[in-house]
């Protein structure tokens, strides 16, 4: 896999401005967000009222010995306490509703983008990196939106409000407290960038580790059969150790940050007590004023202590937003052209490749160059060529899994790029050599491209693909297939994938050697049934086996990125040496040739 797309430039990593990416997803729920911030802020302000009431109690009823005056002040304190509890409930209610909805919308947007991105993108990116962004990074964003963002703003406002109250209560001590925040701010900004880089490194390494785990699980049969469990574990362990080192580096930075933020209030409190004692003794400050000042500063302790964690978490979320943004910003190159409308496509349709060229992104070598080929309605053409000649790439252009880089592919004279993707992929069905099944029931797998298929349609597709074995599964068509369909044999998976392709009786059927895993007897039965299907559809069949070639009306030889020859099997065998060379070792085919 290409590692280049996974890592942002160092100067752009984890900047707090990346958090602005969340704004479009927050906007629909701004009412709930405003309610969350308002409730949190009012609850904090209600908490600040208690020190002021305490000062009034000390300097008033206690100093004057007036017990009767205590009752209204205590009642007022109780009222603020009840208000704080009610506001706490409102904050939690509004916060949970908004953050879960924001996460859902962002997750949906990311998943939709992954579905729309071209095959070329998925060929470049490791699936573990995508999984890491869709799970752990998304969870980081949710926790930030639902907790850290609220308290980061509220605690900053609280610090400002408390500092103002401290200055009003006794400005010399207030100025002293304000001055102590300067080195705290400088140190925080200094460590901020280091934590940015460390957070991004950890998140990228988590994606690397997820990729290794996924590959080891999916390839467990290969690993066990080769006896390479130790090697696979060593690779995983090396990356796990690297992740541990990166995590410990991040922890050390966070620990230093916490140490400074923990030390600051203790030193400042000592300054307040010493300075306050001198002020009270000189008459510049009352005892109640000192009590209120200390109590207000005590309220300030949690915001100060939490700011270190909150800023660190904001940086981590910024890195997560950058990583998610890399996917959301990735261009969707295979998409509907502006203004396209459905066109009338016959069944079967005429398929033409007109001067088709294709070059993989970032490559300077063309895979296909000036391909000219016509498949008439109802005709079956076998595509033959050496390994790596571009056969699979050519078939992928029909359903726009890739787009041509020159020339065009047409159906009944209409450029496939001028058809809506939904229509194109309803008239073109593909069965791949590497049959992919999903973790759902057999029926759901078969009807994936045609949800309205009837039981009779399904039964006919199973008959054609010789896949009636599904009726012997524990729950028949309702049997849930395991992940990747690994509970089935390779031949069974191919037959189900073939049944899925023929289920809709498409206008154009593209078969990329879908019978390679079948035994000779089953292959013969499938081919016999396929002849009926192919008679009513236009088919392009990639042939690697001699028997597959015999299904075709004509054969096209692909060589050097071009169609080198087209004709019947007998004609090519008699007149094209390169074709004979490709099939020279297939005695079965030679023996069946008249």
Classify residue 335: in a domain, yes or no: no
User: What is the model's pLDDT at position 403?
Assistant: 93
Maximum C-alpha span of the chain? 122
Q: Are residues 309 and 356 in the same domain?
A: no
Q: What value does the mean pLDDT take over residues 339-356?
A: 92
Last residue of a domain, one of 280, 313, 328: 328
Token couple for 313: 């978490």
Q: How many domains does the chain have?
A: 2
Sheet with 562-567: strands ordered across: 428-431, 508-512, 538-542, 380-385, 554-559, 562-567
Q: Are residues 316 and 424 in the same domain?
A: no
Q: Are residues 398 and 463 in the same domain?
A: yes
CATH number at residue 292: 1.20.1560.10
Closest C-alpha to 511, from 470, 464, 468, 561: 464
Token couple for 401: 């899994």
54 against 159, higher pLDDT? 159
Q: Report DSSP state, residue 480.
A: B
Q: Are residues 257 and 379 in the same domain?
A: no
Classify residue 301: in a domain, yes or no: yes
Q: Taking phi first (over 0 means left), then psi (-120 to 50 degrees means alpha), and beta for anything else, what does residue 438 get?
A: beta
Q: Are residues 316 and 461 in the same domain?
A: no
Classify residue 336: in a domain, yes or no: no
Give the CA count within 13 Å in the CB-facing half-sphere of 551.
34
pTM: 0.75
Spatial contact of 511 and 541, defined as CB atoms under 8 Å apart: yes
Classify residue 343: in a domain, yes or no: no
Spatial contact of 568 and 577, defined as CB atoms under 8 Å apart: no
Q: Are residues 259 and 307 in the same domain?
A: yes
Confidence at 558, pLDDT banded by 50, 70, 90: very high
Q: Are residues 217 and 104 in the same domain?
A: yes
Classify residue 456: in a domain, yes or no: yes
Confidence at 375, pLDDT banded by 50, 70, 90: very high
pLDDT value at 64 more than 70: no
pLDDT in tens, 216-236: 776 776 676 667 778 888 888
Classify residue 475: in a domain, yes or no: yes
pLDDT value at 341 more than 60: yes
Token couple for 445: 């797998």
Classify residue 8: in a domain, yes or no: no
Most confident of 397-401, 453-457, 495-499: 397-401
User: What is the model's pLDDT at position 393?
Assistant: 92
Q: Are residues 401 and 292 in the same domain?
A: no
Which residues form the domain of 277? Answer: 16-328
Classify residue 247: in a domain, yes or no: yes
pLDDT value at 412 more than 90: yes
Token couple for 328: 């959301």
Q: Are residues 524 and 565 in the same domain?
A: yes
Q: Are residues 258 and 394 in the same domain?
A: no
pLDDT value at 4 more than 70: no
pLDDT in tens, 109-129: 999 999 899 888 888 888 888
Q: Report DSSP state, residue 432.
A: -
Q: Are residues 245 and 108 in the same domain?
A: yes
* CA-derived radius of gyration, the chain: 35
CATH number at residue 424: 3.40.50.300
Q: Are residues 216 and 163 in the same domain?
A: yes
User: What is the model's pLDDT at position 6?
Assistant: 45
Confidence at 7, pLDDT banded by 50, 70, 90: very low
């Amino acid at each position: 896999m290409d590692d280049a797309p996974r890592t942002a430039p160092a100067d752009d990593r984890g900047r707090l401005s990346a958090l602005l990416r969340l704004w479009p997803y927050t906007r629909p729920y701004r009412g709930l967000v405003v309610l969350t911030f308002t409730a949190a802020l009012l609850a904090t302000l209600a908490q600040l009222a208690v020190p002021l009431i305490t000062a009034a109690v000390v300097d008033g009823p206690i100093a004057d010995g007036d017990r009767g005056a205590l009752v209204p002040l205590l009642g007022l304190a109780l009222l603020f306490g009840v208000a704080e509890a009610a506001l706490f409930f409102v904050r939690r209610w509004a916060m949970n509703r908004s953050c879960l909805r924001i996460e859902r919308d962002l997750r949906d947007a990311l998943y939709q983008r992954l579905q729309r991105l071209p095959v070329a993108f998925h060929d470049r990116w490791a699936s573990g990196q995508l999984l890491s962004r869709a799970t752990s990074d998304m969870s980081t964003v949710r926790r930030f939106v639902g907790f850290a963002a609220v308290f980061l703003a509220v605690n900053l406002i609280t610090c400002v409000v408390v500092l103002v109250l401290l200055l009003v209560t006794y400005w010399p001590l207030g100025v002293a407290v304000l001055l102590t925040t300067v080195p705290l701010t400088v140190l925080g900004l200094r460590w901020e960038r280091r934590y940015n880089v460390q957070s991004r490194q950890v998140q990228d390494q988590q994606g690397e580790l997820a990729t290794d785990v996924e590959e080891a699980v999916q390839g467990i049969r290969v690993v066990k059969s080769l006896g390479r469990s130790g090697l696979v574990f060593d690779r995983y362990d090396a990356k796990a150790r690297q992740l541990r080192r990166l995590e410990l580096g991040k922890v050390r930075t966070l620990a230093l940050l916490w140490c400074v933020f923990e030390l600051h209030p203790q030193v400042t409190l000592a300054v307040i007590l010493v300075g306050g004692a001198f002020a009270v003794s000189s008459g510049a400050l009352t005892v109640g004023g000192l009590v209120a000042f200390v109590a207000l500063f005590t309220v300030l302790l949690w915001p100060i202590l939490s700011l270190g964690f909150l800023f660190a978490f904001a940086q981590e979320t910024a890195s997560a937003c950058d990583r998610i943004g890399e996917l959301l910003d990735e261009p969707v190159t295979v998409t509907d052209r502006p203004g396209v409308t459905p066109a009338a496509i016959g069944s079967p349709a005429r398929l033409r490749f007109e001067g088709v060229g294709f070059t993989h992104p970032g490559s300077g070598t063309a895979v296909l160059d000036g391909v000219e080929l016509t498949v008439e309605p109802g005709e079956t053409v076998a595509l033959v060529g050496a390994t790596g000649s571009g056969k699979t790439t050519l078939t992928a252009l029909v359903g726009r899994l890739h787009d041509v880089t020159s020339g065009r592919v047409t159906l009944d004279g209409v450029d496939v790029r001028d058809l809506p993707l939904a229509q194109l992929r309803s008239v073109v069905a593909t069965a791949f050599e590497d049959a992919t099944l999903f973790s759902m029931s057999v029926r759901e797998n078969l009807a994936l491209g045609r949800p309205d298929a009837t039981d009779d349609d399904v039964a006919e597709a199973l008959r054609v693909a010789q896949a009636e074995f599904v009726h012997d599964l524990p729950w028949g068509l309702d049997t849930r297939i395991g992940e990747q369909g690994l509970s089935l044999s390779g031949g069974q998976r191919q037959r189900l994938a073939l049944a899925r392709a023929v289920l809709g009786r498409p206008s154009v059927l593209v078969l990329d050697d879908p019978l390679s895993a079948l035994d000779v007897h089953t292959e013969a039965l499938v081919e016999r049934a396929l002849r009926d299907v192919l008679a009513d559809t236009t088919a392009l069949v990639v042939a690697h086996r001699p028997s597959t070639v015999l299904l075709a009306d004509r054969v096209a030889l692909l060589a050097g990125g071009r169609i080198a020859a087209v004709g019947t099997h007998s004609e090519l065998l008699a007149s094209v040496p390169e074709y004979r060379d490709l099939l020279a070792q297939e005695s079965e085919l030679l023996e069946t040739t008249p």
